[in-house]
Structure 1
Amino acid sequence: MTTHQTIPSADFVARREAGENWHAQMPDDKAMLRAARDLTKDIAEARANIYWPDMLGSTLVGYATLIGAILVDNGWLALALGLVSALTLYRALLFIHEISHLHRDALPGFRSAWNLLVGIPMLMPSFMYENVHTLHHKRTQYGTIEDPEYLPLALMKPWSLPVFVLVALLAPVALLFRCAILLPLGLIVPPIRRLTWERFSALAINPDFRRRPAEGEFRSRVIRLEIGSFIWAWALIASVFVWGWRPLLITLAVVSLTAVLNQLRTLVAHLWENEGEAMTVTAQFLDSVNVPPPGLVAEIWAPVGLRYHALHHLMPSMPYHALPEAHRRLKRELGAGSTYDGANHAGMAVLVARIARSTMRPRG
C-alpha cells in the first residue's frame, strides 16, 4: 500500500471547529486524485444491461403500486402501496442525475425513454437537470454563488433546516402550476416566459441562481419536453372531472413524499460549510458525503449510486453501478486515516446532527 497525504490535518480541523472557512486553504491530495483515475479505468463504461432493467423495473413497480394505492379500499394497504410507489418512483426519478452525466453516445434511447416514462409524467423532464447539474461540478463554481446546487446550510440559522426539507412538500403543486399555467402564459407574456426559464426550469436550491437561455439542439429538446409536460399537466387536471379527486390527490401525495426524500438526501449530500470561495477538488470532496456499506438504509434514501456522493465528485462521469467497486478499490489502496476516509460517514442521522450543531455555533 502506498503512502498518501492525510487531509484534513489537525490545522484544518482546528480551523473548522473554530468556525473559520478552511476550504480555500485546502491543498489537493494529488495521490488520491491519481489513484481515483488509475484504479477505475476498467469500470468506467455505462452498462445498458444494468441501466435499462433498473430504470424500467423501478418505473413499473412505482406505477403499479400507485394504481393499487388509488384502487384499494383498505386504508393501511393503500398507505403501504403508496409508500412502495414513492420509494420506487424516487429511484426511477433519480436516473435524471445519471442522464445529466451520460455521454451523448452512451445508452442510445435511454434519455428519451426516461422522459416519456418518468420525466414528463412526474413533470420533471431531463432538461431541468441537464446543463444545470454540471455547473455544480465545475472546479471554479462549486460552493460559490454561481453553483445552482449549493447553499451554506451549516452556516445558516437552525430553523433553515426544517424549512429546507418541508418546502419540498409543495413541489408537486408547484410543478403542476408551472407546466399548466406558467408555460402557456409565457407564450403570451415574454417577462413570464423569461422568469419561468430563469427561475423555475432548473432543479436548483440556490435562490440566486439564474439560468441562461437554452441554445441549439438543446433548445429544441426543451421545447418538445415542455409541450409534453403541458399536455400531461392538463390531463392530470382534467382527470378530476372523470375519476374525481382521489386519484390526483393520492398521486400528489406520493410525489410529495418522493420530493421530501430527495430533499433529505440533498440535506446530507454535503457538509455545506463553504462560504462562497472557490475550492480545490479535494476540498470539494471533503465537503461532500459518502455513506458506504455495511449499512443498508442509505441504499433506500440515496439510491442509484448517490450514497457515494463524495466519490461521485471525484469521478463525475463514473456510472452509478461502478461506484461500489470504485469505493472498495480506493478504500483498499488508500487505507484508513487517508484523505479518502475523511468523506465517509455513518448515516443520515449523524450527518443531520452535525449540520444542526453547526447552525447553532456562535459566529462573529
Structure 2
Amino acid sequence: MNVENTIEAVAAAAKPAKIADDKDMLRAARDLTKDISEAKPSVYWTDLLLSAGVGYAALAGAILAPGVPLAIALGLVAVLTLYRALLFNHELAHIHRNALPGFRLAWNALVGIPMLTPSFMYEGVHTLHHKRTQYGTIEDPEYLPLALMKPWSLPVFVLIALLAPPALVLRFGVLVPLGAIIPPVRNLLWQRASSLSINPDFRRRPPEGDMKPRVFWQELFGMLWAWVLIASVFVLGWKPILVALAVFSLVAVLNQLRTLVAHLWENDGEPMSVTAQYLDSVNVPPPGLMAEVWAPVGLRYHALHHLMPSIPYHSLPEAHRRLTRHLGSGSTIDGANHPGMWHLVGRIARSTMIMR
C-alpha cells in the first residue's frame, strides 16, 4: 500500500479533526527553513512584471488578431500569464508590509485595479483561513466541506466563476457609487461582496486602521476603471470588452479549479490540529510540470504553505526538499502529496457520491 492509500485509509477511519499533531514535522518546519524565509525583491518584481507584461500584450493581440485561431492562441497565453500575475494577491496577504516596498501599490496598479480584484479583497480575509482555531470551521471564509456535499455542487462551484468578471464590473461600477449615498447598500456590499471568499455564511467586519484608507482609494480607482470599461463600448465597440471579459472569465474558472483541489475539503466544521490542516491541504510536487501552470506562485505547495504561511513562494520548493529529506519517505510530510489536478477532482467527486 503506497503512502497516499495509507493516508486515505486513515482519513476514512478517523475524522480530520481527530488527527493529532506530528511534533517532529512541526519542529523541522520551524528549524530547517529559517535561512530561506525572506522574500527576494528581484524574484517578485521580475516575475510580476513579466507575467503582467506578457499577459496584457497577449490580450491586446487577441483583440486585434485578424483571425480566430490566432486570437484564441493569444487569448490562452493571456489567460495563463494574467492568472499568474493575479495570484500574487496571495503573497500580498502574507508578506510583511515592509518586506517589498512599493510592490503592493504596483500590483494594484498593474493587476488589482485592471482586473477589478484589488488587494483589499484578500487582505484581512485570507489570514482568517490560516488561523488554527478557524480553519475548516464555519468562521473560515475560504472553506466549504465540498467532499461532503452533493455531486452537483462541484460543477456549480467551478462554473459560477464564469460570472465573476461581469459581477465585478457591476460591483465597482454601480454598487460602489450607490453605496456611497445609501448606507444599507454600502454595509451589505462590504459584508457580502468585498472579499474573495467561498463560504456563503461569511460576513466581513468593517475595515480598521490603515486598511480603511486603502479600501477607499482602491474602491475609488476600481469604480473609475469600471466606468472606463463600460464607456469603452461606445467608443471602441463591443469586441474589446467581450474578449477581455472572456479572458478574465477563464482566469476566474482556472482559479476556481485550483481552489477546488487546494484542499480535500473533508472537515465537517470542527477545529483541527495543524497536522490535520496540513493533511487536508494539497501539495503537487515535481516531477510533473502542469502543476506549475495551474497552481503557480508557489500554490502547488499549498499544504506546505499552510504549515509555514510566512515562507515566500520562491522558497517553498527548497523547503519541501529539505523536509522530505530530513523526515524520510513515508512520513507525514508525504501525506499531503498528490499526483495532479484530475486525480484530486476524481477523489473529491467520489467522496460526494458516498451516502451519508
Q: TM-score, normalised by structure 2?
A: 0.97
CA contact (8 A) 1:123 1:229 kept: yes
Aligned to 1:134: 127
Q: CA deviation at 1:13?
A: 5.2
Q: CA deviation at 1:16?
A: 3.3
Aligned to 1:157: 150
SS at match of 1:274: coil
3-state DSSP of counterpart to 1:216: coil
Q: Is 1:312 the counterpart of 2:312 in the alignment?
A: no
Residue 223 of structure 2, aligned match among 217, 221, 230: 230
Does 329-338 or 258-267 show the bigger shift? 329-338
Tell me if the contact between 1:8 and 1:339 (Cα under 8 Å) persists in the aligned partners.
Answer: no
2:205 aligns with: 212
Contact 2:126/2:142 (8 A) holds in 1:
yes
Gaps of 5+ in 1: 1-6
Matched residue pairs, number? 354
Residue of structure 2 in register with 1:200 after alignment: 193
Runs of 4+ in 1 over 6 A off after TM superposition: 7-10
Specify the alignment match of 1:296 in structure 2.
289
Displacement after TM superposition at 1:215 (Å): 1.2
2:279 aligned residue (283, 286, 305): 286
Give the letter for the 2:336 counterpart.
Answer: A
AA aligned to 1:101 is: H
1:1-364 mapped onto 2 (5 Å cutoff): 14=9, 16-17=11-12, 22-363=15-356
Per the TM alignment, residue 187 of structure 1 is displaced from its structure 2 partner at its CA by 1.1
Distance 1:330 1:179 in 2: 44
Match of 1:4 in 2: none
Tell me: CA distance 1:259–1:33, structure 2 relative to 1, closer, same or farther (3 Å): same
Q: Amino acid of the residue matched to residue 178 of structure 2?
A: L
How far does the alpha carbon of each residue in 1:157-196 deviate from its partner, in whole angstroms, 9 at most, with x for none? 0000000000000000110000001101101211110010
C-alpha contact 2:151 2:352 (8 A) present in aligned 1: yes
2:141–2:199: 8 Å Cα contact kept in structure 1? Answer: yes
Give ranges in structure 2 of 5+ residues lacking alignment.
none
Question: Residues of 2 paired with 1:15 and 1:336: CA distance?
Answer: 17
TM-superposed deviation, 1:8: 9.7
> Would the aligned equivalents of 2:141 and 2:197 in 1 still touch at CA under 8 Å?
yes
Instruction: Give the counterpart letter for 2:301 in structure 1.
Output: Y
Structure 2: distance between partners of 1:180 and 1:203: 18
| In structure 2, C-alpha distance between the alignment counterparts of 1:324 and 1:336, rounded to whole Å | 17
Q: Give distance in 2, aligned partners of 1:8 and 1:244.
A: 53
